[in-house]
Structure 1
Amino acid sequence: MKAEKPMQPDPRQHYLTPLRQTTFHPRTAAANRLNSWGPWGGYTTVLEYDDLAMEHSAIRNAATVYDLCPMVKYRVRGPEAAAYLNRLTVRNAAKLPVGAVHYTIWCDDAGHIIDDGTLFRLGEADFRICCQERHLPWLLDSAFGFEVSVAEETEEIAALSLQGPCSFAVLKAAGFDVAALKPFRMATFGFDGGELMISRTGFTGDLGYELWIAPDHALALWDCLFEAGAPWGLRPIGTQALDLARTEAGFIITNLDFVPAHQAVREDRVRSPFEMSLDWMIDWNKGHFTGRRALLAERERGSRWAFVGLDIDGNVSAEHAIVYHDRKREVGQITAACWSPTLKRNIALAHLERPYHAGKSDNLWVEVYAMRELQYVKLMLRAKVCDRPFFNPDRRRATPPGPF
């Protein structure tokens, strides 16, 4: 039986379909019982298939798939690819082994974050960057003087995120032996006459994998996974369930938890790696990289902001709430929040002015407006700074994974 190919709109009539459909759209549309859609990177993506609580529960108790096709992907090749990436990003790309992945960020000259993403080393001189926003002009400008090529390949790679404690069991049932695959490593398998790359990565803070394949084989992969995953209750999830899971894991999202430096209109909205608690990844000894001088100066003088986790009283989610000290002084704002179904805690991610993140964190309050039968009620809820990630199970790192 010949593999079904997804229909793509005529590029000459792009104005009729301002949002493109992903390679998996024939399957996601059929499963989207609520007809709940949203935009992501120029594509239409599912927000919720049928039941948010059940989708989130499947992430933590079974296995799920999420359509990753809209994620922006860049291919970086050439004899000086590692040197170029060392100049572009804050981590040491030259130390990344072939077949490995690491999380990284890149900054502008002022040391402000442009974006975060994952860097895959596919070969000695062959890398892939996956990120939230499009940055081709910046990447090309940064490549000046390096023997390297940079090209976007978003439409050339179909991707699925397979997450949950049963994800390993689903892959095993589908015929893919990933028992020896460690976190942040990848392996390649033959599939449907093509090649499937599986990386042990994800955005849920749980055991999980990401699957990368050519679009012509994408629907066959979806069908294979759902046939193999039926005994484990495999189900698709939308962005809302993923956002719950990533908040529990304490992960950040561009344009939700920070504004990219080149998109910010207000100068005080940008953030540095220190202000996003990402300074741990900076390799100060690898040589010069974009933003290094500014970050060295910030390390000496200190930063204005801190990015923290909060534990909030009650069970009313505090999205976009203002944080106060002693109920009077505004000292920060919440960027992501939820009542965690997994932890049974009211948690949040927030920017706090220093020193209210530490030395003066003993009297913090969050202003929340709760809807009570068509009327808002103002609540002042006590908040405590706490460690991230909120959720960090051992199964996420176990190799081989347990037989859930």
Structure 2
Amino acid sequence: MNLMTQPLNAVEARRAARDHILMPRLETPFHPRLTALDEVNDWYNWAGYKAPHALFDEELEYFAIRSTAALFDISPMVKYRITGADAERYVNRLTLRDVRKLGINRVHYTAWCDDHGHVLDDGTLFRLGEQHFRLCCQERHLPWLLDSAIGFTVEIREETEEIAGVALQGPTSYAVLQDAGFAGTEQLRPFGIGTFPHDGGTVTISRTGFSGDLGYELFVPRAAALSLWDRLWSAGAEHGIRAIGYSALNRTRIEAGFIVANADFVTAEGALRSDRVRLPDEIGLDWLVDPDKPHFNGRRAILEARRKQTLKHVLVGLEIEGNIPAEHAIVYHRRKHEAGLITAAIWSPTAKRNIAIASLDRPYGTRFVNDLWVEIYAMRELRYRKMMKRATIVPRPFVKLARRTAMPPGLR
């Protein structure tokens, strides 16, 4: 039976199914500029938005971050505006760090947990005023945020679609801002925030980023996105500015030892199995937990796990023999006992090392730290070759660049 002889409702159902598959993802405010630069048509879904893995060449995009300046569209990052008389008290109850210590026009990295102490997500908290915050994260959490707000005088609103964001990262990023006319950005310390005139309004610039390099993140209303991009692009022409996709940024974040939700750990809301969830101490976020501040979600469970020593996992940095990345490889102890799984891995051009982030099952990684091996399968002339490579636990970050925190920031 062909489409012409099928009942009308069946034809419409098939057409709807086809259109659903073909339906494009949402486009960010910067999408017209990205498509104009795109050479490889390599896109993926980021929180419902169309985002590039790469725009022209993953390796060259990586070296743009490490050698000159790179623009990365962060508009799909989920953003919540939190205001009201109890905003500080509410955010302090929600997250692990003591928000009372976070000054106005400052940012800090944080995470938040469910009542069992399992990490729901991590992200950055911007303090824009005494009772005015912006929470940026990987996943959407509005129902959880609203449930957690019961009893607080606070307003929570998602502003992902309203606010465009772009990350400007790399050693010449400050020079780009300077030539773009953003006077005063030299005073921004790491994790500092400033507001600057742009296109009849303002742009919020923070000295933050996900590359472990000197860098900034800029936020403007959606309508001012393209004018901001053009302003940066024009100023960056003499500083080697390039637009990049996530694959290049992912390389730099691994070098910096940063973790990604639902890549290096499974969020509590995303986990399908009870043994996949993680406490902060099990993914290297123990330093975020402030046990001396007022009660926060998951406090009792986190401190009890520490007291009873019932932590089951540990996240470690590994250096691996050879130069073949070991992404998603199994880690063994003494070549035969499974110890855990590598969650992210690359050959680092900057560190000149084969590096990885791995989640290990305790006591591997705590008491048993030697004689670790990684099982790597490498394609060689249409055949996979199995190799066992020695792995050594090393500190993170794998790459630490002084220019990331230098004051004043890097000049020409």
* TM-score normalised by length of structure 2: 0.94
Number of equivalences: 392
Partner SS, residue 282 of structure 2: coil
> Displacement, 1:402?
2.2
1:201 partner SS: coil
In the other structure, the counterpart of 2:113 is 107
Instruction: Check conservation: 2:314, 2:366, Cα contact below 8 A.
Output: no
- Equivalent-residue separation in structure 2 for 1:154 and 1:16 (angstroms): 24
Of 312, 317, 323, the residue aligned with 2:325 is 317
Q: Distance in 1 between matches of 2:223 and 2:115?
A: 41
Give the corresponding residue for 1:143: 149
SS of the aligned residue for 1:94 comes to helix
Tell me, yes or no, if structure 1 residue 162 matches structure 2 residue 168. yes
Tell me the equivalent position of 1:333: 341
Name the counterpart of 1:5: none
TM-superposed CA distance for 1:274, in Å, is: 0.6
Distance 2:356 2:189 in 1: 30
Residue by residue, what CA displacement relative to the aligned partner does 1:115-171 show, whole Å, maximum 9, x if unpaired? 000000011010000000000000000000000011100011000000000000000
Match of residue 12 from structure 2: none
- Residue number among 362, 375, 393 corresponding to 1:385 in the alignment: 393
1:397 aligns with 2:374: no
Match of 1:8 in 2: none
Task: Write out aligned runs for 1:346-385 (5 A).
Answer: 346-385=354-393
Which of these two proteins has the greater Rg computed from alpha carbons?
Answer: 2
Q: Is residue 344 of structure 2 the alignment partner of residue 344 of structure 1? A: no
Runs of 4+ in structure 1 over 3 Å off: 13-18
> Separation in 2 of the partners of 1:355 and 1:218?
49
Selected match of 2:227 from 217, 220, 230: 220
Q: Structure 1: which 5+ runs fail to align?
A: 1-12
Letter in 2 for 1:344: K
CA–CA separation in structure 2 for the residues paired with 1:353 and 1:132: 25
Residue 31 of structure 2 aligns with an amino acid whose one-letter code is: H
Q: Give me the whole-angstrom Cα distance separating, in 2, the residues matched to 1:221 and 1:151.
A: 24
Give, as a single letter, the amino acid of the residue that structure 2 aligns with 1:228: A
Any residues of structure 2 matched to 1:122-201 within 5 Å, and which? 122-177=128-183, 178-201=185-208
Note the alpha carbon deviations across 1:232-270, whole angstroms, 9 max, x for none: 110001010011010000001111011110121111111
Secondary structure class of the residue paired with 2:326: coil
Matched residue of 1:274: which SS?
helix
Does structure 2 conserve the Cα–Cα contact (< 8 Å) formed by 1:76 and 1:126? yes
The root-mean-square deviation of aligned C-alpha atoms, in Å, is 1.2
User: For 1:300, what is the secondary structure of its paired residue?
Assistant: helix
Match of 2:214 among 207, 219, 238: 207
For structure 2, the residue ranges without an aligned partner over 5 or more in a row are 1-18
Deviation, 1:95, is 1.6
Q: Does 1:300 align with 2:303?
A: no
Question: How many Å apart are 1:17 and its aligned residue?
Answer: 3.3
Distance 1:355 1:267 in 2: 20
Distance 2:333 2:176 in 1: 48
How many angstroms apart in 2 are the aligned matches of 1:394 and 1:140?
Answer: 40
TM-score by length of 1: 0.95
Paired position in structure 1 for 2:126: 120
Distance 2:226 2:232 in 1: 10
